[in-house]
A and B are shown apart, each in its own frame.
Chain A
Amino acid sequence: MPAKKPKLAVFKFASCDGCQLSLLDAEDELLPVAGAVEIANFPEASRRVLRGPYDIGLVEGSITTPHDVERIRHIRKECKVLITIGACATAGGIQALRNWKDVKEFTRLVYASPEHISTLDRSMPVGSYVHVDFELRGCPINKYQLLEVVNAYLNKRKPNIPAHSLCIDCKTKGNICVMVAKGTPCLGPVTQVGCGAICPSFNRGCYGCFGPMENPNPASLSKQLKELEMGNHDIMLLFRGFNAYAEAFRKESDAHEK
């Protein structure tokens, strides 16, 4: 009798769906994945929903409402292994920009009847509420990294997901450093690898989509950005992107806010 296939479930919180779509975007690898796991809960792909418990839960999105908090606690109980995917789930996402403002003021401006809106003060990563077994970074995540994580789980091995700087990828690809050769501001030296160094490969600076690297030194990078004639406000904005609320980037942007 063939071994029972592990049940995989995909859950969404405050997010754009881009990360979970990376799984559907796996193209050549999608059928082997569907063959190796039972897709038990993945509304973007199938109407069929199987009940828990699940072997692997992939969670996309940030926690922004009291209902989210209850739901993620329930999902945690349902999943043997919980993997968060993307900048929203691992750092709070772009919507965490509201963490610096008064969310009540926003609801008053946006909604005709703000009293019906139930929301938390801050957009937070899943890991702030429940234990997470593995965090897969990126805005969006890299589909090959997602496949690697699922693959490593299926083969009971450690995923090959490095946490070092983006610079190592640029150098191994043979990219010319945009910061050194062109003076282009780049977050690569403080950002975790994973995207394949897309922006510097096209002569742009890194936007930090994969969040802070393992032991980042944003203060030193900012000092150099000032040498490149970047002002405090622009440095603040540079760190306040998709991973704005990740601790290292948050502190650095705060340090440059008047």
Chain B
Amino acid sequence: MVIIGFTHFDELLSALRKRDYTVIGPVARDGAIALDVILSASDLPKGCHDEQQPGSYFLRHEEDEAIFGYVVGPQSWKKYLYPPRLKLFSAKREGKGFEIVSDSATPSPKYAFLGVRPCEIGAIKINDSVFDGGQYSDARYVSTRKDACVIAVNCTRPAGNCFCVSMNTGPRATHAFDLALTEICENGTHHFVVDVGSELGQSILEDVTHRQAEKNEIERALDLLSTSAAGMCKSLETEGLPQLLNDNYEHPEWDDVAKRCLACANCTMVCPTCFCSTVDDITDLTGDHAERWRRWDSCFTSDFTKIAGGNIRMSTRTRYRQWMMHKLAHWHDQFGTSGCVGCGRCITWCPVGIDITHEAQHIRETSISTINS
């Protein structure tokens, strides 16, 4: 492991730009951490610390110099890997049919993702299996992902709704990054302990002033990460969870959560692994030119399950159940992992603070199968 001093951090950004990356990273905006283009270290949120509770988020500003002193905000890297709105193609009328206009899809830039949290690496791995793991792959996702450089940042403190330890995704990045940084900002020291994860990472590092890390510097970073792991505010018991949920398909908790759930779809929008989309076909007034746009959709909307003959999930009860069971149970059947990485976004950004860990735990404690046996 090596050390990059805070004063040399801008060299990392220059090294990325030199390789033609558009650097995307955290910025403080409208009282939260958002993701946007980063031009220099001064764009990063200095001295910002997030306080997250179910249904509430607060960004505290302090005098310290830490630039990664917060955890995850409402946005995730899916904003760039599969954008909320994307033109898939244009078409023009030819005789009785349409012809696709070549090269009409939105092109994808080459991104360097700066400040990817370990749980988000878990989410990107899940996105990979969704968009590039089966019979069909999403060409745009695959090319954006292949070109992307991942600069991870380990979490030296968890936020109030984090449970990455339960989902085995954090707080330390172990794979699928080019560089992983642990920020140390204490007692007059401000530097990054850096793990190199790829040849690209090594080559970027060579353009940045750095030195070998001392044993005590590595130990301090590992100490902070274990303290962070031990201090997780939430947990989700995953043992036997898919079966438990399958056994409790008619549990009264689904009725109870439906009384609270707004079906507003915020949980699915902020979830870094929710990937559902729909397409809109639009035309100009003449009907001679058409475009197909893809946009994020959610299993909480009515159109999502509208099929010929009616809607197969009319109630919020069935929609919430579908969302949670897909995430925690059926995802295993579909993709071989849980669909949840423990980032806590769905808990924080639910306007009424519905907590997926509480819902699962409540069902576990009052399981119909347990009660019946």
User: Do A and B form a real pair?
Assistant: yes
Q: Spell out A's residues near B (CB within 8 Å).
A: 29, 32-33, 35-36, 148, 150-151, 154-155, 157, 160, 162-165, 167-168, 171-177, 179-183, 186, 188-190, 203, 213-217, 219-221, 223-224
Instruction: Provide the bound-state CA to CA distance between A180 and B259, in Å.
Output: 19
Residues from chain B with a CB closer than 8 A to the CB of A171 are 74, 84, 265-266, 269-270, 296
Q: Are A217 and B301 also in contact (CB < 8 A) when A180-B349, A180-B351, A190-B262 are?
A: no
Do the beta carbons of A36 and B286 come within 8 Å of each other?
A: yes
Residues from chain A with a CB closer than 8 A to the CB of B73 are 176
A165: contacting residue among B29, B84, B259, B264, CB under 8 A:
B264
Residue of A nearest to B53 (CB): A180
B327 on the A face (CB < 8 A): no
Q: How far is the CB of A137 from chain B (nearest CB, A)?
A: 15
17 contacts between A and B (CB under 8 A): A32-B286, A151-B282, A162-B301, A167-B265, A171-B266, A171-B270, A172-B295, A180-B57, A181-B32, A181-B58, A190-B264, A203-B30, A219-B259, A220-B260, A220-B352, A224-B55, A224-B352
B186 on the A face (CB < 8 A): no
Instruction: Provide the bound-state CA to CA distance between A133 and B262, in Å.
Output: 28
Instruction: Provide the bound-state CA to CA distance between A165 and B316, in Å.
Output: 13
Do the beta carbons of B56 and A172 come within 8 Å of each other?
A: no
Q: Spell out B's residues near A (CB within 8 Å).
A: 29-32, 34, 55-59, 73-75, 79, 84-85, 259-266, 269-270, 280-287, 295-296, 298, 300-303, 315-316, 348-349, 351-353
Residues from chain B with a CB closer than 8 A to the CB of A190 are 262, 264
Q: Is the interface of A mostly helix, strand, loop or mixed?
A: helix
Residues from chain A with a CB closer than 8 A to the CB of B295 are 172
Number of A-B contacts (CB under 8 A): 136
Do the beta carbons of B29 and A176 come within 8 Å of each other?
A: yes
Q: Are A214 and B264 also in contact (CB < 8 A) when A151-B284, A160-B280 are?
A: no
Q: Are A172 and B348 also in contact (CB < 8 A) when A29-B285, A163-B302, A164-B298 are?
A: no
Instruction: Beyond the given A180-B351, A221-B262, please list 19 additional residue pairs across the A-B interface where CB-CB is below 8 A.
Output: A35-B285, A150-B285, A151-B285, A154-B285, A157-B281, A160-B282, A164-B302, A164-B303, A165-B264, A171-B74, A179-B351, A180-B55, A181-B31, A214-B301, A215-B263, A215-B315, A217-B260, A217-B261, A217-B263
Q: Select the residue from A164, A177, A214 with max chain B CB neighbours within 10 A.
A: A177
Residues from chain B with a CB closer than 8 A to the CB of A176 are 29-32, 34, 73-74
Residues from chain B with a CB closer than 8 A to the CB of A203 are 30
Do the beta carbons of B285 and A165 come within 8 Å of each other?
A: no
Residues from chain A with a CB closer than 8 A to the CB of B284 are 32, 151
Q: Are A215 and B34 also in contact (CB < 8 A) when A180-B56, A224-B352 are?
A: no
Do the beta carbons of A181 and B30 come within 8 Å of each other?
A: yes
Residues from chain A with a CB closer than 8 A to the CB of B74 are 171, 176-177, 180
Do the beta carbons of B266 and A189 come within 8 Å of each other?
A: yes
Q: How far is the CB of B262 from chain A (nearest CB, A)?
A: 4
Do the beta carbons of A32 and B285 come within 8 Å of each other?
A: yes
Q: How far is the CB of B213 from chain A (nearest CB, A)?
A: 36
Do the beta carbons of B283 and A151 come within 8 Å of each other?
A: yes
Instruction: Provide the bound-state CA to CA distance between A160 and B58, in Å.
Output: 36
A168: contacting residue among B282, B286, B298, B349, CB under 8 A:
B298
Residues from chain B with a CB closer than 8 A to the CB of A174 are 34, 75, 79
Instruction: Provide the bound-state CA to CA distance between A203 and B295, in Å.
Output: 24
Residues from chain A with a CB closer than 8 A to the CB of B348 are 180
Residue of B nearest to A183 (CB): B56
Residue of B nearest to A188 (CB): B264
Q: How far is the CB of B96 from chain A (nearest CB, A)?
A: 14
Residues from chain B with a CB closer than 8 A to the CB of A155 are 283, 285, 287
Instruction: Provide the bound-state CA to CA distance between A203 and B29, in Å.
Output: 11
Instruction: Provide the bound-state CA to CA distance between A155 and B349, in Å.
Output: 39
